Amino acid sequence: MPDPHLSEIRDVEPSADGCEDCLKIGGEWLHLRLCLSCGHVGCCDSSPHKHARQHFHRTKPPIIQSFEPGEDWRGCFVDEAEV
């Protein structure tokens, strides 16, 4: 069955070239994740601040896409799966 959250995907423009929250606080990130509902760029769960996950807790739409060059997988925070 397709992930039900796929319906929350919008046509988004990435908000920044790096994790926008890390850029504000001078933090560092490991990998980048793009929110497919609003275009927020945040850092992954292996990064110190986990901003992509924090963004999900604030705004709820759970579908993210890898924002790393050459990667285009998508994942769902709720289902903890690739979608």
Chain residues binding Zn ion by CB under 5 A are 3, 5, 19, 21-22, 29, 35, 37-38, 40, 43, 49, 51, 59, 76, 78-79
Closest distance of CB 81 from Zn ion, Å: 7
The Cα–Cα gap between 75 and 47 comes to 17
Quick count: other Cβ atoms within 10 Å of Cβ 47?
Answer: 20
Closest distance of CB 70 from Zn ion, Å: 21
